[in-house]
Amino acid sequence: MAPIELLIELTLMPLIAFIVGMMMVLMMRRIAARIQRRIGPPFFQPLYDIIKLHGKRTQVSHGLIHDIGIVMAMGGYIAAETLLPVPGMNGIAEKGGLITLLYLMMIPSLGLALGVGQCANPNGSIGIARALTAMLAYDIPLVIVIFGVAYAAGTTNLVEIIATQQAGGFATWGVVEMPLLAIAGLIAMHASLGKQPFEIYIAPAEIATGPMVEMSGKYLGGLFVMQCFQLYTTSVLYVSLFLGGGTTWFDFLIKSFLVLAIPVSIAYLFPRYRTEDLLRLMWKWPVMLGLIGLAFVM
Amino acid sequence: MSRLQKIPVVEEKKGNPLARVFDDLVRFCRSRSLFILHYCTGCGAIELPPAMTSRFDMERLGIQPMVSPRQADILLITGYVSIKTLKRVILTYEQMGSPKYVVGICSCTVNGGMYWQSYATAKKLDEYMPVDLYIAGCMPRPEAVISGLQKLMDRINSGEADSWQDYYRNYDYYLGNQQKLFGEDWQTPTDIITEAKHYELMGEGTLGQHTRLLEQHQKPLEALEMRLGHNIKEPVE
Ligand code: SF4
């Protein structure tokens, strides 16, 4: 591929991810509103929020690590987008593979931990401790699921995994071939989004939004942008692994929005678990399902 | 003549047209995305849940609750402020990122309301911090709260709601009133004068006799010592 073409793809993919991600945030808030019988925010609300936060006069920085932490939080996802194939664009997905992607998806949490650490706010520290514990909880089923899919496909190349599923049609989709892994993956994905009942590290009523408590202005704005990327990355990864990716933008977007709608609509019906409950739940059910699914695949 | 007087005087806009468009955009976004920090002091707070939840749904206007002063744009004071509470309100206000707006809900914030004769409440909120909007009533209904907030949105959009600058320009006045209530050695962790210099908002009223008094009593701020729970001294029996 020509370097110019690659460069264009590498710019376009995060950009598209951001726009789609903002629409996913909007969908999430609209679903929450509908469940609570409200109308919900207007269409451009996520954009208004982000522009406003970046346009504030006061920008309180707590130091260099604080700045770098936010950049890491966003940058980890931006790098992850270039490894996620979308219809018509593969970026560097063929060279990266699933394992690199998995690593890149952990960077934001670590960056956040660094940044929040410098704020020296006890609520933030508790929040980040919980976030890392939650990562420990959902990463084990996630790794089992991704290993299972890669083992069944015989490759960690996401482009090939998608191509095989698309060539074989619906019967070869991951969700049909490996239903147990798909269910385990859905639960792990839900936990990785950090929504209720797994919302242990935001918890506004208890630890005042945890990691976000000292963030203001563009730092909070950066976290809002990160959330757009997070929703996009998780749902597109799931679509690529289990739902055959997308042949056209139309079915790609429909699939990824639908996949995201499942955890989001569950989320606003439930209160929240405690940290140890989350750990117990995550290490029991999705891990068990995942291991049985793995046994079927092998 | 009378018709001539009604001709609006449009201020000629100067500067880079692109920057002006950008400023307009930011102002518009500011007005459409308001994070409120509801400091629920008095009884008026009871009208906020209905204003936020399904009956009146503030989120459709882009207003949503936030939990820490750093994240918030609006400080919502809902009812009487006792003198003890007022200290916390001022600390909270000074920590918020500008542009910030204060909305006083309830008659008690306007003039003391039915607590006028109480020795323990601060009567007029705008003696201690600049208030952008009052919503009077004992207590105002959610419709009133929402229509008030809409008015605030219009004012932000047109650039009129800039009373946060007033706190920097007339700091001496506000500090004086605070000192009257809390004593001469009243000091907050936020250094308003340095902030005013940073934002280039030094006005005639920034410095004065009260800030001089503050300088005399000012103690340098120290970071809190980090301790684990069991290190805290047990009370001596
Ligand atoms: S105005 Fe009335 S409702 Fe509001 S705080 Fe005062 S007494 Fe309570």
Residues of A in contact with B32 (CB under 8 A): 42, 44-45, 48, 52
Per-residue 3-state assignment (H helix, E strand, C coil) for B117-179: CCCCEECCHHHCCCCCEEECCCCCCHHHHHHHHHHHHHHHHCCCCCHHHHHHHCHHHHHHHHH
Question: In tens digits, what is the pLDDT along chain A, a chain of 298 residues?
Answer: 678 888 888 888 889 999 999 999 999 999 989 888 888 889 999 999 999 998 888 887 887 888 888 888 888 999 888 888 888 777 777 777 888 888 888 888 888 888 888 877 888 888 888 888 888 888 899 889 888 888 888 888 888 888 888 887 777 787 777 888 888 888 888 888 888 788 888 777 777 787 888 888 888 888 899 989 999 999 998 988 888 877 888 888 998 899 999 998 888 888 888 888 888 888 888 898 888 988 887 7
CB A99 within 8 A of CB A156: yes
Distance B199 CA to ligand 1 centre (A): 36
Output the six-digit token pair for A247.
């042949």
Output the six-digit token pair for B214.
């503050």
For ligand 1, whether the C-beta of B106 sits within 6 Å is yes
CB neighbours of B24 closer than 8 A, spacing ≥ 6?
A: none
Domains of chain B: 25-160 (3.40.50.12280), 162-218 (no CATH)
Which residue in the set A39, A55, A213 is minimally distant from B29, CB to CB? A55
Rounded to whole angstroms, the Cα distance separating A236 from A230 reads 10
A125 touches chain B (CB under 8 A): no
User: Does the predicted TM-score (pTM) go above 0.90?
Assistant: no
Mutate to test the pocket of ligand 1, among B38, B105, B106, B135 (most ligand atoms within 8 A of CB): B106
Rounded to whole angstroms, the Cα distance separating B223 from A120 reads 10
Which residue in the set A38, A41, A56 is minimally distant from B62, CB to CB? A41
CB A83 within 8 A of CB A10: no
